[in-house]
Amino acid sequence: MMPTAKKKEISKPTISEPVKAPAKMTLVSGIQPTGKLTLGNYIGALRQFVKLQDELEDTELFIFIADLHAITTPQDKTELRKSIRNVAALYLACGLNPEKVNLFIQSEVLEHSVLGYIMESTAYVGEMERMTQYKDKKGKQTEGIRTSLLTYPALMAADILLYDANIVPIGDDQKQHLELTRNLAERFNNLYGETFVVPEGFFPKTGARIMSLSDPTKKMSKSDENPKSYINLLDDLGLIRNKIKSAVTDSDGAIKYEPKKKPGISNLLTIYSSLTEVPIKDIEDAYKDSNYQTFKAELAEIVVDAIRPIQQEYFKIINDTKLDDILTAGAERARFVAQRKMQKVYKRIGLGRIK
Ligand code: TYM
């Protein structure tokens, strides 16, 4: 039952009209275009987006490339532009269907920044300073910490609240930001009157936190200095096999899921289960008389089989102008919804003039 990334023609979308019968639910999520996307992003986020797109009925989806979030730390402008396009193409290569999803670039919908500022004016400095991701990232930098690194969760709240999202599919590391978003929505509603939907996080049952292959006590992250610690979705397939085979595991050799005692093999079991949808218990049973070497070799093939079709699609899409058409249509639709919401927000707060 290996999952395969959907192969599809990218049809040229028409600029989206305001929907006549509005969808009952809204899903919003995004990914930062910093570096290349990892297997962690795929399992924790991208795969979930595709599943939800196919499973949810009566739901409008807004999925974006969070480029404004990327500049909370310094970026090279050529690389940033490249990464934005990479992420857009990877979204489609993983199976997002532009007929079902509004795919767009965050900075092309200016309302994100305006509502971001309004969320900063709703949030307290103390709650921003408590965000663990801020504390971690700040800890790694010695000087020149940008203000936006601190205020970034307010922008993330804006990304979500702008569209009245009910469902926000994310990995575990974004849980705290989602909690903050819920608090800000409630605070704003109490201060100014009912305006925002309070969103729910949606976390994958397995794979909400894929760990580093070289240090399985840490999250797999695209910003890790050691490239052996993560699998980049665009890595050469041979390199992917090697990275899985050389993943750090313990020395007792039992293929058992015990995240505290055996974080390395537990992480590999999670990857296996996430990609095949076979429960971890059944995988343990199947490999009870096996060894790490055999398990890793078979897992390597599962990972390669999942990534190969994504790469094939990616290379078909990356230079196609249809990708631009999809992003243009996505931004138009997002702008329409966002502008309508901002009119309400302005009115609630008393900004600007009466129209
Ligand atoms: P980002 O770009 O760091 O990650 C994108 C998504 O991938 C998930 N993820 C993982 N899941 C499992 N295991 C991992 N090792 C792993 N690494 C990353 C993340 O949880 C996330 O869901 N702030 C967000 C982007 C964002 C956003 C939003 C998300 C901006 N605005 C609004 C949802 C809604 C971020 O930096 O994710």
Query: How many whole angstroms separate alpha carbon 227 and alpha carbon 31?
Result: 20
Supply the residue whose CA is at minimum distance from atom 20 of ligand 1.
Answer: 171
CA of 333 to the centre of ligand 1 (A): 23
Assigned CATH for 227-314: 1.10.240.10
Supply the residue whose CA is at minimum distance from atom 18 of ligand 1.
Answer: 41
Q: What is the pLDDT of residue 13?
A: 45
Per-residue pLDDT of 39-53, as tens digits, reads: 999 999 999 999 999
Which residues does a 6 A CB cutoff place in the pocket of ligand 1? Answer: 28-32, 40-41, 43-45, 66, 69, 156, 159-160, 168, 170-171, 173-174, 208-210, 219-220
CA of 171 to the centre of ligand 1 (A): 6
**CA 171 to ligand 1: nearest atom:** 20
> Is it the case that residue 3 has pLDDT exceeding 70?
no
Q: Give the tokens for residue 235.
A: 């890595």
| Beta carbons of 15 and 328 less than 8 angstroms apart | yes
The Cβ of residue 281 has, within 10 Å, a number of other Cβ atoms equal to 11
Query: How many whole angstroms separate alpha carbon 123 and alpha carbon 38?
Result: 31
Counts for the chain of helices (H) and strands (E), in that order: 14, 5
For the segment 316-337, the average pLDDT, to the nearest whole number, is 98
Which residues, listed in sequence order, are joined to residue 238 by a DSSP beta bridge?
none
Q: How far is CA 46 from the centre of its chain?
A: 6
CA of 30 to the centre of ligand 1 (A): 7
**CA 220 to ligand 1: nearest atom:** 15
**CA dihedral angle for residue 312, residue 315, residue 320, residue 322, rounded to 10 degrees:** 40
Q: What is the pLDDT of residue 141?
A: 78
> Is it the case that residue 259 has pLDDT exceeding 60?
yes
Domain 25-203+321-349 falls in which CATH fold? Rossmann fold (3.40.50)
Name the residue among 255, 237, 260 with its Cα closest to residue 296: 255
Per DSSP, 351 falls in state -
Instruction: Read off the pLDDT band of 66 (50, 70, 90).
Output: very high
Query: How many whole angstroms separate alpha carbon 30 and alpha carbon 340?
Result: 21
Instruction: Read off the pLDDT band of 143 (50, 70, 90).
Output: confident
Helix or strand run (H / E) with residue 30:
strand 25-31
Query: How many whole angstroms separate alpha carbon 3 and alpha carbon 10?
Result: 20
Report the amino acid identity of residue 313: E
CA of 322 to the centre of ligand 1 (A): 26
Write down the residue that tokens 């897992």 correspond to: 299
CA of 193 to the centre of ligand 1 (A): 30
Catalytic residue among 137, 138, 256, 347: 137
Q: What is the pLDDT of residue 86?
A: 96
Q: What is the pLDDT of residue 21?
A: 65
Which residue of 152, 173, 215, 220 sits with most ligand 1 atoms within 8 Å of its CB, as the best mutation to test the pocket?
A: 173
> Is it the case that residue 1 has pLDDT exceeding 50?
no
CA of 48 to the centre of ligand 1 (A): 12
Query: How many whole angstroms separate alpha carbon 347 and alpha carbon 344?
Result: 5
Supply the residue whose CA is at minimum distance from atom 5 of ligand 1.
Answer: 31
> Is it the case that residue 8 has pLDDT exceeding 80?
no
Q: What is the pLDDT of residue 61?
A: 98
**Farthest-apart Cα atoms in the chain, separation:** 73
Which residue has better confidence, 20 or 34? 34
Per-residue pLDDT of 71-126, as tens digits, reads: 999 999 999 999 999 999 999 999 999 999 999 999 999 999 999 999 999 999 99
> Is it the case that residue 328 has pLDDT exceeding 80?
yes
Which residue of 28, 36, 41 sits with most ligand 1 atoms within 8 Å of its CB, as the best mutation to test the pocket?
A: 41
Average pLDDT, the chain: 93
Name the residue among 144, 151, 90 with its Cα closest to residue 121: 151
Q: What is the pLDDT of residue 121?
A: 98
Starting at the edge strand that comes first in sequence, how are the strands of the sheet with 200-202 ordered?
A: 101-105, 59-65, 25-31, 167-169, 200-202
Q: What is the pLDDT of residue 138?
A: 84
Per-residue pLDDT of 169-211, as tens digits, reads: 999 999 999 999 999 999 999 999 999 999 999 999 999 999 9
Which residue has better confidence, 17 or 297? 297
Domain with CATH 1.10.240.10 in the chain: 227-314
pTM of the model: 0.93
Catalytic residue among 222, 243, 262, 341: 222
CA of 54 to the centre of ligand 1 (A): 21
Which residue of 31, 149, 168 sits with most ligand 1 atoms within 8 Å of its CB, as the best mutation to test the pocket?
A: 31
Domain with CATH 3.40.50.620 in the chain: 25-203+321-349
Query: How many whole angstroms separate alpha carbon 139 and alpha carbon 305?
Result: 38
Q: What is the pLDDT of residue 350?
A: 97
Can 219 be counted among the known catalytic residues? yes
Can 261 be counted among the known catalytic residues? no
Can 344 be counted among the known catalytic residues? no
Which residue has better confidence, 9 or 53? 53
Handedness of CA 63, 66, 68, 72 (dihedral sign): positive
Q: Please, which residues have CB within 8 angstroms of residue 293's CB and are 6 or more apart in sequence?
A: 245
